[in-house]
């Protein structure tokens, strides 16, 4: 017969997934005739049915086949709290809104205990699930979170990789995410991660683009800005700090902690961090951030570092961030709390541990009431039932790390990058590849002069390591052959000075050999050389191409021009995909399945896939049949198999 059901379609059975169908098939855009939102969504589902998922790196399909359920919270009397009708308790955001950043910071410092920041909505899924958690799933749990974490210092929910990944892979607007969550969580401050002079990109932008970006972030809901520079280059850091000051946000200027400072002979030792803190305090910050991105801050080092800073700067609020890669994060955060940290970072249990933050309930159990955290231990435990389901829903993005990695003290790979590199090594299918990657990463780091490693310097080290592995080069080979090798762009950029100035300077003669006459040696911060963006002109250009353009769109474009353009093109073809349940966003639809989509308030589509037609050998197209709200609809898509 003419019809072939989805279930028996060869692509569906073979499980072959195709990538970048937008790039591969520009004609797709021209074929879209309907401007109808529902029809556009059907188009996406039809494409998914015929060609499989466009999600890069996807290893399989979600392990959760039902719609995740929202757990109930119970009050002290065992009654269910109706989170949709009961306003959440007032929290630290009310303090901030009433009293402003300076008083807010003072009250945080004066709190008798240690507050918690929950990273589940940003770093936890960036570290464990390749940053793939969608707004759909964050918004669903936001009202419950506003209750369960009402006492938290903040929710980290934005910045870092979430900005790029939202547009690039999830085809959703990071600004819409921020606004949506803000409406649902009025009581807990929102924190974002800002990469200093890079904003949320990988290299410097003109200062006016950073100012513009931060102003939009503040206006759309970010309260606290954790600002760091990957080389602890204070000139670079200051660009972000100044932008936050101008926007009226809470500044959390941050020092990046690298390696185990207690190992003898370390370049980054206690004196280094104390000196850095002094200069950050001089720069002016509401809060000091300490960012241990690789999880190498052992409990003994945490005690010494935080204790020393606390003694020297008694009024300075200290906020400590770590990753559990080595398995010591709970112990380290307990040590930090006892040494005088005002805030430490944790994640919900099912999204904690490994390369993520320590588990919230494990930390609470370890502190066992000796140190107050302002957190309702039962409610956060109940909240986690949601994330246990989410972990299954997003299982296809797991790197599948099985336990702590004690070698982190040697290779010092940041949490998010550790899972990324492991994922890549697994895709190559080589068992030895992983040990080789880690060993070479360490060698690459020393070749580069022992860098502080975090985005974007961690990418420089990772790229050099991969270059060495694939070209079978030892560190001596690299030094010897430096002037004749074609190094990755990121390595060239680093040596040119485009990422900032490393502490202790660039390694020589390697730098000169690698740059030869190809690149100059920059001595000032890169942003000083960049002409300011003409923001009005950019907006007009974007308006002429895409129609409706906001200041947020301009900011997105400034950070990621190509990614933003692709995102807008994708929207033109498929509409707003953030309304699709995640299972249906990721997996090909099945015949007879009922897909319920709320495209706007009060407008619900009930979509039932019916069948896929035979291949039209002349056009290469297939028709896919759906029933939508009781009516039959068909969509023709190109079969790329
Ligand atoms: C980022 O820059 O995305 C980070 O998470 C750094 O740790
Ligand atoms: Zn982190």
Ligand 1 atom showing the smallest separation from residue 159 Cα: 3
ipTM of the complex: 0.96
Query: How does pLDDT run across 568-580, given as a tens digit for each residue?
Result: 999 999 999 999 9
- The answer to whether residue 60 scores a pLDDT higher than 90 is no
Q: How many CB atoms lie within 10 A of CB 606?
A: 12
In whole angstroms, what is the distance from residue 567 CA to residue 546 CA?
Answer: 11
Q: Is 416 in the pocket of ligand 1 (CB under 6 A)?
A: yes
In whole angstroms, what is the distance from residue 433 CA to residue 449 CA?
Answer: 24
Q: Is 101 in the pocket of ligand 1 (CB under 6 A)?
A: no
In whole angstroms, what is the distance from residue 490 CA to residue 481 CA?
Answer: 18
The residue ranking higher by pLDDT, 174 or 4, is 174
Query: How does pLDDT run across 45-56, given as a tens digit for each residue?
Result: 999 999 987 664
In whole angstroms, what is the distance from residue 251 CA to residue 240 CA?
Answer: 9
CA atoms lying within 13 Å on the CB side of residue 518: 18
Long-range CB contacts for residues 630-636, cutoff 8 Å, separation at least 24: 630/606, 633/39, 633/42, 635/39, 635/42, 635/43, 635/46, 636/31, 636/46
Q: Is 250 in the pocket of ligand 1 (CB under 6 A)?
A: no
Average pLDDT, the chain: 92
551-559 vs 535-546: helix crossing angle, rounded to 10: 100
Query: Collapsing DSSP states into helix, strand and coil, what is residue 300?
Result: helix
By the 8 A CB rule, do 186 and 198 touch? no
Ligand 1 atom showing the smallest separation from residue 200 Cα: 2
List the structure tokens of 225: 């800005």
- Residues with CB under 5 Å of ion ligand 2 are 123, 293
Query: How does pLDDT run across 161-209, given as a tens digit for each residue?
Result: 999 999 999 999 999 999 999 999 999 999 999 999 999 999 999 999 9
Q: How confident is the model at residue 61, as a pLDDT? A: 73
Q: Is 293 in the pocket of ligand 1 (CB under 6 A)?
A: yes
Beta bridge partner(s), residue 156: 191
- The answer to whether residue 136 scores a pLDDT higher than 50 is yes
Query: Collapsing DSSP states into helix, strand and coil, what is residue 633?
Result: strand
Ligand 1 atom showing the smallest separation from residue 195 Cα: 2
Long-range CB contacts for residues 593-599, cutoff 8 Å, separation at least 24: 595/45, 597/41, 599/37, 599/38, 599/41
Percent of the chain residues past pLDDT 70, beyond the cut: 93
Q: What is the gyration radius of the CA atoms in the chain, in angstroms?
A: 25
- The answer to whether residue 33 scores a pLDDT higher than 60 is no
Query: How does pLDDT run across 264-278, given as a tens digit for each residue?
Result: 999 999 999 999 999
Ligand with minimal distance to 165 CA: 1
Q: How confident is the model at residue 13, as a pLDDT? A: 36
Task: Find where tokens 């009050």 sit.
Answer: 75
Instruction: State pTM to two decimals.
Output: 0.93
Ligand with minimal distance to 454 CA: 1
Spatial CB neighbours of 146, under 8 Å, sequence gap ≥ 6? 83, 88, 184, 185, 186, 187, 188
Q: How confident is the model at residue 430, as a pLDDT? A: 65
Nearest CA to ligand 1 atom 1: 160
In whole angstroms, what is the distance from residue 610 CA to residue 625 CA?
Answer: 5
DSSP letter at 327?
A: S
Q: Whose CA is closest to 552, among 175, 52, 114, 272?
A: 175
Percent of the chain residues past pLDDT 90, beyond the cut: 85
Cis ω before 509 (30° cut-off from 0): yes
In whole angstroms, what is the distance from residue 578 CA to residue 243 CA?
Answer: 30
Q: Is beta strand 318-321 parallel, antiparallel or unpaired with respect to 343-346?
A: parallel
- The answer to whether residue 65 scores a pLDDT higher than 80 is no
Ligand 1 atom showing the smallest separation from residue 122 Cα: 5
CA distances (Å), origin 229, targets 123, 134, 192, 204, 280: 17, 27, 14, 11, 12
Query: How does pLDDT run across 76-107, given as a tens digit for each residue?
Result: 899 999 999 999 999 999 999 999 999 999 99
């Amino acid at each position: 017969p003419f019809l072939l059901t989805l279930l028996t379609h060869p692509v569906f059975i073979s499980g072959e997934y195709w990538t970048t169908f937008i790039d591969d098939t520009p004609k797709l855009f021209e074929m879209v005739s309907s401007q109808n939102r529902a029809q556009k969504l059907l188009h996406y589902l039809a494409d998914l049915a015929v060609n499989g998922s466009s999600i890069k790196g996807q290893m399989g399909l979600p392990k959760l086949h039902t719609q995740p359920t929202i757990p109930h919270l119970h009050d002290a009397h065992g009654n269910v709290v109706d989170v949709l009708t009961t306003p959440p308790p007032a929290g630290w955001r009310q303090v901030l809104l009433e009293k402003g950043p300076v008083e807010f910071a003072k009250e945080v410092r004066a709190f008798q205990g240690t507050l918690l920041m929950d990273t589940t909505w940003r770093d936890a899924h960036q570290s464990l699930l390749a940053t793939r958690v969608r707004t759909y799933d964050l918004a669903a749990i936001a009202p419950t979170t506003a209750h369960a974490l009402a006492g938290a210092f903040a929710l980290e929910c934005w910045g870092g990789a979430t900005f790029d990944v939202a547009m690039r892979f999830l085809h959703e607007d990071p600004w819409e995410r921020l606004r949506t969550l803000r409406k649902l969580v009025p009581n807990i401050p929102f924190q974002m991660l800002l990469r200093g002079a890079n904003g949320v990109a990988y290299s410097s932008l003109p200062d006016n683009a950073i100012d513009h970006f931060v102003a939009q972030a503040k206006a759309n809901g970010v309260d606290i800005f954790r600002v760091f520079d990957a080389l602890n280059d204070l000139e670079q850091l200051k660009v972000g700090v100044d932008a936050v000051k101008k926007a009226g946000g809470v500044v959390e200027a941050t020092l990046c902690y690298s390696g185990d400072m207690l190992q003898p002979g370390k370049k980054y030792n206690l004196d280094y961090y104390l000196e850095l803190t002094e200069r950050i305090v001089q720069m002016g910050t509401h809060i000091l951030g300490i960012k241990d991105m690789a999880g190498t801050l052992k409990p003994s080092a945490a005690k010494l570092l935080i204790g020393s800073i606390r003694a020297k700067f008694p009024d300075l609020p200290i906020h400590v961030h770590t990753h559990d890669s080595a398995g010591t994060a709970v112990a380290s955060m307990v040590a930090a709390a006892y040494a005088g940290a005002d805030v430490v970072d944790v994640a919900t249990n099912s999204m904690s541990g490994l390369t993520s933050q320590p588990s919230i309930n494990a930390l609470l159990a370890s502190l066992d009431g000796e140190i107050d955290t302002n957190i309702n231990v039962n409610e956060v435990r109940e909240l986690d039932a949601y994330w246990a389901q989410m972990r299954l829903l997003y299982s296809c993005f797991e790197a599948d790390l099985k336990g702590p990695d004690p070698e982190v003290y040697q290779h010092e790979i940041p949490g998010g990058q550790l899972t990324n590199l492991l994922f890549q090594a697994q895709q190559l299918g080589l068992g030895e590849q992983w040990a080789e990657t880690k060993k070479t990463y360490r060698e690459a780091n020393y070749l580069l002069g022992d860098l502080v490693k975090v985005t974007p310097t961690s990418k420089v080290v990772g790229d050099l390591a991969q270059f060495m592995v694939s070209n079978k080069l030892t560190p001596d080979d690299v030094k010897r052959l430096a002037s004749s090798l074609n190094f990755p762009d990121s390595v060239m950029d680093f040596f040119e000075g485009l990422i900032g100035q490393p502490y202790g300077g660039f390694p020589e003669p390697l730098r000169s050999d690698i740059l030869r006459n190809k690149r100059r040696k920059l001595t000032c911060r890169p942003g000083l050389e960049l002409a300011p963006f003409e923001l009005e002109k950019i907006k007009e250009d974007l308006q002429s191409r895409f129609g409706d353009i906001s200041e947020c769109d301009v900011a997105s474009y400034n950070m990621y021009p190509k990614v933003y353009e692709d995102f807008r093109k994708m929207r033109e073809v498929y509409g707003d995909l953030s309304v699709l349940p995640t299972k249906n966003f990721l997996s090909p639809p099945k015949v007879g399945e009922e897909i319920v989509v709320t495209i706007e308030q009060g407008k619900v589509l009930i979509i039932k896939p019916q069948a896929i037609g035979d291949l039209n050998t002349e056009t290469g197209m297939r028709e896919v049949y759906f029933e939508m709200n009781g009516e039959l609809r068909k969509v023709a898509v190109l079969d790329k198999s």
